[in-house]
Copies of this chain bind each other. A is one copy, B any other.
Amino acid sequence: MIRVQAEAFDPGRELSRFAAGRSDIGAVASFTGLVRDSHRGERILAMTLEHYPGMTERELERIEAEARQRWPLDDSLVIHRYGRMLPGEPIVLVATASAHRAAALDACAFLMDWLKTKAPFWKCEETPSGEHWVEARESDDRAAARW
């Protein structure tokens, strides 16, 4: 399932719901990305995520479908926020469920790597010296290319 929302969420509570009441799942992997209070030595006061409504959901659904084709997943979940958020707040949660450990862990890493290079989100940091758009990292392209 894909959720793109402005509202804050609690990854722990989402994970408790995910896979609740199912006894056919042997493994659940998750990744949570959070706003950090500093970046390259500069203090981060807040972070605003812009996105491309419509294309965001479409890309995330495509990425999720790709994961479910590559690995035997029983379930998967991607929640991504947009708008303004403060240090410590979760930005993204990816969770995967499978009968098998490697499938859950690999699919979770894959979903994050592809999301990082394909989902149309852009981070703008508020720092004491002003607002800066975050630059994409080459390491993210390399991480996505390994799959």
Contacts and interface: CB of A to CB of B under 8 A. Distances in A.
Interface of A: 10-17, 19, 21-38, 86-88, 99, 101-102, 104-105, 108-109, 112, 116, 139, 143
A105 B101 contact: no
Contacts of A12: 12-17
Given A11-B16, A16-B11, A28 B34 contact: yes
Main secondary structure of the interface of A (DSSP, over half): mixed
A13 B14 CA distance: 10
A36 B29 contact: no
Given A15-B15, A28-B30, 16 more contacts: A10-B16, A12-B12, A12-B17, A22-B88, A23-B35, A23-B88, A24-B38, A26-B33, A27-B31, A27-B32, A27-B33, A29-B30, A30-B30, A31-B105, A105-B105, A105-B108
